[in-house]
Every structure is written in C-alpha cells, then in structure tokens.
Structure 1
Amino acid sequence: MRAQGLSFSVDSGAAPPEPVSAGARPVAARGTRLPAWLCPVCLAVLDGWTMAAAVFLTGGGPLPGLAAAAVVVLNGAGGLYRARRAPSLLTDAPALLFRTLLVCGIAALLRSDGPAWLWTAALCGTVQLGARGFVNSAVRGYRGRRSRARPALVVGTGGTAAHVLDVLRERGDLGLAVAGQVSAGEPDDTPGGPPGAVPVLGADTDLPSLVEEHGVETLVVVAEDVPPDRLDAVLRMSFALPCETLLVQPPSDVVPVVPARREYLAGLPCARVEWGLRTPFARCAKRMLDVVVASLALVLALPVLVACAVAVRIEGGPGVLFRQRRIGLGGEEFVLLKFRTLKPADEKEADTRWTVKDDERVGRVGRFLRDTSLDELPQLWNVLRGEMSLVGPRPERPHFVEQFSRTCPGYMLRHRVPAGMTGWAQIHGFRGDTSIELRARLDNHYIDHWSFTGDLRILLLTARTVLFRDPA
C-alpha cells in the first residue's frame, strides 16, 4: 500500500510531444544491440591473454596465469574497463603501461630473470595498446553505423547545453540520439521551441515520466545550465531512473564522481554518475549483510529478547509488541515492530503524535528500553523479512512523511533505499526531536556515497554507542 502524496514522479499531464524536428537525430524503434558488458570483457580477456603469453614466452613456469589475473584485477580497479562514451587510447596508455611494468617486474623478481622482464613488458605493452586501440576504433565505428542509437535527454537549456546538442548531432560515434531537452528551473522555458531546434519536453520534475515515455537510456545533465539549487535534486532523482546519467562540466562537491573516472565529451569534462546502490552486486551484498547479521543477532539476543518481553508484560500487561505503520523503500508502507514502552491513548495518537522523551506514562522498564535502544530489537525481524535494512534512513509514520515532504527539501529522496535500524544520521546524534532538515541531509549523503565498508563502520559505531553510551 502506498501512502498518499509519496510518488517520486510528477506527471505533467500534457499530450505526448511532437516528434523531434530536423535539428535532432531521429529516434527510431528499438533494435538489436550488443550487450554493454561485451567490450569490457573483450578488453579484459585481451589484457590477460597478452600478459600470460608474454610471461610464458620469456620463461614459462606457473607464473603466466597469476600474472594475467593480476593485470586484469589492477586494470579493473583502476577503471580501465569502465563504460565510456568517448574511449581514448591516449588517456588509458599511461595507467595501462604502469600496471604492465609493475606486474612484469614482479614476475621477473620471482623468477630472477634480470633484464628479461624489459622484453616481457615491451611485448605485452605493445600488444595491449594495439588491441585497445583496435577495440576503441571498433566501438566508435559500431556506434556511428548502427541504425538505433541510445535515446538521450539533455537537462539544461543554456549555451553549454546548446553546444552539447551540436556535439551529439555531429558525433555519431558517441552513440546518442537526442529525444529532447528538459528545462531546469528557468522560468522562461516552456515545452516546445523554435522551428528546427530540439524541443523542450518539460521541466526537471517531469524526468521520471519523460524517461519512461521516450524510452530514454542516457540522461545528459549540463551542470553549468542547471541552477545550483536544482542540481542536487536532479542528480538524486536520477538514482531511481532506469538509465545512465552523464554529468557535463561536473562540480567537485555535489555527487560521488571519482576524478580518475572523468572523460571528455568533445572537449567538455564529463563524468558518469555512479551510485553505489544502483548496481545489482551492491544491492545483493547489502542484503546478504542484512540477512547474516540479523540472523546471528536474533540468535545471540534471544535471552535478551525474552527478558525484555517478560519485563514489558509485567509492567504494562498484555501486548508486548508495538506495531506501527511506517514508510520505507519507494514510499511503501510496512508494519514496524518494537517493544511497547507505553500505551497510547488511541491509534490516532500513535500515528500523529511526536515521541516525547519525558512522557510520564513511560515506566521504569519502558524508559530503560528506550535509553538502551533495546526496544528496537524486534526490528531485526523486519530486516529478515526484507522490509528494512540494518543501515539506512530511519522510517517515519505516514502522517509525518507527508508533513515533512512539504516543508523539508529532499526529504522524499530518503526513500530511494530501504529504511534502516540505524543510520549515518543516528550515529551523529540525530534521533527523536532533532532537526528534520539536517537529518534528511545526512540520510541523503549516506545514500549518495554508499559503500559496503561504510555500512560496516556505521554498525560498529552503533554497537559502540549502545554498549558504552559513547557518542560517535
């Protein structure tokens, strides 16, 4: 069940826009396309095979396989197999040759080959550079000749965006066909546009519906032509969109863009916005952490759970568990479990009244459970059910979600990921009656810069805070 007013998209309600005019490359029906992973896999196989062959020819032994694996892992960690709109051999060459020399040098030391490693490195580096140049040329040729390019939306309507549109029209090797532009908060922009120009299909708030309507696979956000107060919202909105996001002229302090992974789009700095939790591997790793840790915690904490349940029953009578509707991933409602620390007057009070720290109705057991956070332990069952995660933004009641979404910018973007038992905001003291705006900022920062090791750190800091009453 979805709470009222919690949709991420804003449908314009307008009729479908007219086909793209002559100024843009036509967007035809979907055609057969080579899988996106094919090029990176080919490059990895070529690099590994070349290294193994070079080491084998200059000495043999058991090292060729290890050397091949090492160079592929190092190149992958350095981003040399990442997808790019404009692959460049000159950009890749220094990093590729450095890793080749490193692996060949280590192989030579292990075999005591002396100067033979120079021949190995020269042979391997030459073949690798030649193979990469051939693959890059083949990719550009494929993108330029295929009948169906990737539909793209350009966000921004200023001078830099106009230059980007010209580049995309002229450079077929980039593999993008512009479906239209999207205005980003400029008051004078309205759907349409002069004859021969790429049409403005709507505002940035219409992005979810426009992406779905036009089958958009690439979102090109021109940072220079997006007002600063809208850029964060546009980029965070792209988190939930089923397309890649390219940021042109990326600022250094807004999104998780690794400087080493920047590229150039006809001279303009461009970066692929890579959200950690967008990848299936990351989501699977996070879910596995939830299942393993929650299962172990439930088993180890079973005596504590029983003791808490008995204490609550003795102090307050029947009804050990407190059930309450909360909002989780994508604005979906679920029933959150807690140990009951007080009995509300009625259901309306429980759903609409803010928690009061020194409520006189809270007994000694309830106060102890709240102070030690033991009342939250039943939520481990919510985690096992997949309704929550161990780490994430704390879920709130529908009444307050609707209220905060109207008054706090970016609040709804917290629901891009599952709600959590603890989070980045909680370990920094934002619990209970604290600033909602700052809490939302910290929650969104956690989502933007998520990492598996970051989740582990938050769990350890939470354990330290609970066990030693030591603020993180």
Structure 2
Amino acid sequence: MIRLFKHYVPHAVLLLGLVDAVLLMAAAELGWVIRARQIGMLVEPTVTRLPQLIAFAAALQIALVAVGAYGVASFLSLRFAAARLAVAILLGVSCLSILFFLVPPLALWRSNLAYATLIAAALLVVVRALLGRALGGDTFKRRIIVLGAGRRAARIGALASQPGANVIVAGYVAMGEPNPVVRGAVPRDAIPNLAAHVVDHNAGEVVLALEERRNALPLKDLLRVRTTGVSVSEISSFLERETGRIDLHSVNPSWLIFSDGFASGRMLSSVFKRGFDVTVSLLLLIVTLPVILVTAVAIKLESRGPAFYRQRRVGLYNQGFDIVKLRSMRQDAEVAGQAVWAERDDPRITRIGRFIRKVRIDELPQTWSVLKGEMSFVGPRPERPQFVEQLEQQLPYYAERHMVKPGITGWAQINYPYGASIEDARHKLEYDLYYAKNYSPFLDLLILLQTLRVVLFPSGAR
C-alpha cells in the first residue's frame, strides 16, 4: 500500500485510478474529435480544450469513487464493476450538466458529451475485463513473513486468505510459543539466518505477531532483517494499514502514544473543516427545507406525536448537546426515556421511518447542529450518554473517540453496517480511532464521497 495524506491506498487501486484518469481524458478528446470531423470542423490542438477535458474526467472519476467502483468487489466481479460503472456514469453526467450550466466555459457540446460518455463507458468496462483479475490477483500483493505461530499470527493468516487481501503470507516462524496454533510454522531454532530466510522467500516485510513481547523481542534478528532493506512491522501497525481500523485486540497504550498520528498541528485543517461545515450546512438547510417539511407532514399523518424530536448526545470532550432528528419511531418507542438499542427490523420503526432511515433523510435536521458547531459533517457518530457510560466501562479507549468532534457521517458509518450490540460498538470504535488518528481533509473528502455509496446502496440502515 501507499500512504496518501495519512491514509493507506492499495497499489492496485491507485494504478486503476490512474489508468481510469487517462482513459477518461482520452474519451473526452475522442468524443470531441469525432464530432468535429463529422461536421467538418477544424480540430485544434488538444491544449485549447484542456479545461473541458479535465472537467469531464474529474467529474466521472469523482463519481467512480463515490459509488465504490474501486472497492474489492470491483476487482473480483466484472458484473459488479459494470453495475457500479453504470451508476457512476449516470451520476457523473448529471453533475456535469449542472457544472456546465453554472460554468459555461467548461461545457462540452451535448453531442461531444454523448460520444465521450459512450467511449468512456466502453473503455472502463474493457479495462476492468482485461486488468480486473490481474489487479485483484497476486501480482500487486506484498509477500510477508510472520514471526509468531499463536493466535495473533493466525489472525494475519485469516486476513491474508480473504478475497481482495493485499498480502500473501510467505511463511510463519514459530518463536517458541508454548501453544502454537499455526500449522507448518518453522521453528526459529531451525533457521540459521533469519535475514537470509526472509530474502529466500522473496518477502518484502516481516510482521511481528508475538503473543508475549516482554523479554521475547528478537532484536538482533529484526535489526539484520531491517538492514537487508526489508521493512519490519508490529502487528497493530500492520492491521491498521491493511484493515483501515485500530485493532483493539492487539493494540496497547504505548503503541497509541508513540505511533504516528493524533497530530496537534491541525490549525489550517480545522479552519478549513469549520469553513466547509458552515458553508455547506447553510446551503443544505436551504435546499433540503422542502424535503424536511414534506417528510414532517408525512410523519404526522402516519402516527401520533411530534414530527421532530430532540435527543441528548455526547460530543467533543464529553460535552453533552441536543440533536434534532425527524422521528422515525413510534412516540412510545422508549418507555420513561430509557435508552434502547435499535434492532434489525425493529417493530418500533414506522413505515415512513423505515424509508427515511434508509435514505438518511431523518439525519437532515442535524445540519443545524453542524451550523452551531456542536457537530461536523464528518466524525464519529455521537452516542447517547447512557450508552457512552456503558461502553466506556466495557471497551478500552472508548473515551478517546470524543477527542474529535462528532459527525453526521464518518469512517465507521461507511465501513461497518449499523450495529446494535457491544460487539458492533467495538468494531465501530476501531474505525473511529483510525479516523481520529489519521484525520486529514483528504480522508474527510473520501468519507463524504463514499457516503453517497451508502445512500445509493443501503446496507444495515436501521
């Protein structure tokens, strides 16, 4: 993987993105040239229409990211990839129509746009048909040697065996564990030179997965391996990179303290983030006001009670605040104000409520909290005080998620379906900690784009 703005991007995804960018520019140029020659128009140098070509390519590539066209499934299934491409092209062309209306100098003729879109669709499908399996295969996967043969080493093996994994386990080295669980691990005593063993297996990385590190770190071995040019990773860092989350089973306080991340020099990023929140929340409140009002009327017509409700949540630095949401449950959903986890097919949810939850309309009034500065568009989901008290007692590092401002959408929301248990909360916490540790405007932008995928292809909404 390569790290861009603190976020890890697989090499295969980056390569496919670059290929797509070139193809989209080429499609826009071909569409222009074909139409110009049809009407006998002189074809001027490409540089004269570069802004239009860039606008076309950028709009479609942003749409590709937004609908999840660079996800694992796109490398493994051409049918899945083609379906996402169709949605992305439709979305991209719609955005281009708005852009051309607002900024006429960037506009392509409708005939140019039609040709460019058809050519782009064909090229994108062909590239995925030709390269999809190769990009999702072993060619771009990193070969690793795992030091350890216990449960942690087995977890790495399980991760590497999943479809779309970015690594191949070239071998395991048993480090004297009393109860090894990995079969076929070579005992360290049977390897004369660990560095040579790593090189012989053509491994580019050694991952330390010891069950007990006290007085067990093979420092001389690791030093020799590192000086051969092979990288050495601790399991917590490895899992963070490969899964996009902080693994609570392997992490410890010292790793969080000394690892890269949680940077304090975020003044410019914070100013940009707040400016974005204020501007977009104002526009969104104005644009979606009719939708909110119509939904409120529908809620009132279906069930008794107010269309809006306030609920106490825990925000930045554990400070409480009230959020406003459109009511999606019966008025008597919680007896005496007792907080209750939402369940799959929860009978308390109304018919209107089920729909607005799937398309996230019930969240729209929260833009008022964003405008006031209590929330941001991107951040960990704010929880209710009753749940926070419970989760802080049962989950390590849960309080640390409150070191960043809560958000309407977030890294956990786009990567993990809605959860209603302690175990679900643990998984979402791992993604929240990753966001808090690796925050950047780039990651915020990625989350905002990917939120569209969650809205278009709902999964687990309750």
Which band: TM-score by shorter chain? 0.3 to 0.5
TM-score, normalised to structure 1's length?
A: 0.41
Q: Which of the pair is proportionally richer in helix?
A: 2
Structure number with greater Rg is 1
TM-score (norm 2): 0.42
